[in-house]
Chains A and B, each alone.
Chain A
Amino acid sequence: MSCEEFQRILPELEDTYSLEQEQHLKTCSHCSALVADLNAIAREALLLADIEEPSPRVWNRIEIALRQEGLIRSAQPAAPTLRKARWNPIWLVPVAAIFLVIFGLLLYQRGGVEPQTAHVLHSTPLPSLPEGVSAEQAELLKVVAAQTPSLRASYESEFRAVNAYIRDAELAVRRNPNDQISQQYLTNAYEQRAMVYEMAMDHGLQ
């Protein structure tokens, strides 16, 4: 095998060589030096992955935008695990333990409602879902349509269906906050919507 032949197929090889190619590398110092150099570059490049640090103003701008868009909501009555994280456990272990016991009793009285679900449904005003699709979903549908126009209508009808499911499930949980089946409907509804998002995003990113 000549150097020209070897270097012509080198882009395709990706570190696996045939016997003939290995033989050429053993006998040709020029090609073996080339391969060694290219591998060294690839190895060194791996170490460059995450060594740069952005300036603090990047987070500041992100936080401002999140607040403007309402994605950061006002502070919830903190769950015990969050409050526990704020306190030095050495100094406040007994206080945290008492709080956990009280919270556990409250949970028991409520019949095992997940604290996060309770907070979402009782402390936070329910987002009002539009009849059709949300603005965010409409944006995603545009991206899908740009890639695969024939799928837009299909995804739109799926979004409408899962949005309706979530609406009904949220109403059911509001009526029966302690009802596990209503909570199960809500969990399923969110999972279904997440699946539609995931598949739509896969199409949009192609």
Chain B
Amino acid sequence: MADRSLGPMWHLPGLERAGEPGEAAGVDTSEASAGEWHVTRTATGSVVQAPRLSDRQARAVAAFVRSAALEARSVRTHADVLRAISGAAKRLADPSDAVGREAERLLSSGLGWSREAARESLAGMSREWADDALSALVEAEIGDPALLDRFIPDPTRGGRRRMAVGPPLVFQIHAGNVPGVPVTGAMLALLARSGVLAKTGTDEPGLLPLFARALGEADPLLASCLAATWWPGEDLPPAFERWGKEAGKAIVYGGEAAVRAARQHIPPEVEVIVYGPKVGVSVFLPDAPDAAAGLLARDVCAYEQRGCVSPRIAFVIGADPVDLADLIAVGMEKEAGRVRPPPLSETEAVALRSARAECEFAGLEDGSTRVSGPVDLTWTILAHRDAGVESEALPRAVWVYGIPSIEALATLLGPFEGRIQSIGYAGHEREEDLAQLAARLGVSRICALGDMAWPPPDWRHEGRHRLLPLLTWTDWEPAS
């Protein structure tokens, strides 16, 4: 494998005074030694590296970010923040901008994604990062954005004034999510006027530091409100404990291990907000049009199926799943031509082959299953006439099951209550019943197939507000 580095995977304001980032990682040389780096390789062999901060250094960064965040509250308005962060984020998705090209490079080197896949994902994320989308989100959640700047009259109670602001520091722990999620998380915290201490995931550690650098070119003070670095998910370096202590709130995205570590090592008085592991599913109602199969393929391939918004299972009511698999296959082939799939790791290849074998043999005697997909394993459809819920987190792979009714679906999905992020569906027959089932299962979004991977900005991720949980409200009832 090529020994190539992804570049600096950190943005650590406050340490820069001790030296340029990259020169001993900006780490105080009196503390730097051979063990002062976190290093790993991504699945594609790219080297990921970031300085291992001592407790003192982590504390210094936290103090610097905290003071910058407090200063920004008095010298920047919500409008300033919105303009600066959406402007910086926009550059990530602009292929004509050096920042955009660097973002593409990070995704293609780090994840092995094709240029088209990288570009499409960045374009998808950037819709969420646009100023009008962010404004819509703020308005949907808190009404008047001026609340974030100052006390404003509360229309629900005469004489009262209200203001809402996040804690001076928010600690965000990312564990290999969809690329760009750390950027979105940081933007929301900056909108809450909080300083951000972020730990990025191994698969995609670079976009957030890149965003911070772009932000620094537009507004150095706001860039100082954001520290981002990487360490291996299984590690608990001093920075983890220190940032957990210093933060007013902690947000954990993704992996079970990260959630467990956060619950164990972050002090109980710090509120931990968890976005845990979820699965996406899709449903073909009896009157679903044939074209829906292509839309499913689109959703499956979005973000290379890394997100919990991408469907992993398709349930088919009133049609033959094996026949449907042929239609989906056409769509998967088309997607493979449009956006080249990344190379598979050995582990993924072994697991895909195993999953294919199990499905193939399950139907060899009675023809009740069908395996579709090219021999190079780049996409896979495992269709079963019988009902089932088995699936695995494998690239461009979808499990298709025939089910008799929505009631049968309710039984099958019962054990997954609270674990399904979104349901994509096609057709209209009994769609109201399906929506009711989604609500009962705690599904945060049910939408048309083809739209699953691109939720609107004001979507309530995991069924919750996204900005609101960061804020603390102050009611001012003026003295008479």
Tell whether A and B belong to one assembly. Answer: no
